[in-house]
Structure 1
């Protein structure tokens, strides 16, 4: 599997993770269960998505 193909798969898998509704769901779940509020992962997912978009399409080093 090439790096570009792997990056494409990760981008596809992370599309829903960057949704603000997912983060809100995690916050509400913590409140309901009496857990501490989870840290925001919005910046992490934004950075990771941007990093995965920079992998050139023809890059094939394994």
Structure 2
């Protein structure tokens, strides 16, 4: 998960487009699911980073945290 969902989004887009070209609705749906999974990983990564920053800030400045 180092790329925070970028790979899932790219893979999903490719799957969706392949499904569109071939008329395979299931593959299109799988592609959209992969894209949604990638976006969710991206949002989770941002939230985790914000939590790490807040924790670090609170440890460095304990009076500001209260």
- The answer to whether TM tops 0.5 is no
More helix by share: 2
**Greater length-normalized contact order (CA 8 Å, ≥ 6 residues apart):** 1
Q: Provide the TM-score with structure 2 as the length reference.
A: 0.39
Q: Provide the TM-score with structure 1 as the length reference.
A: 0.41
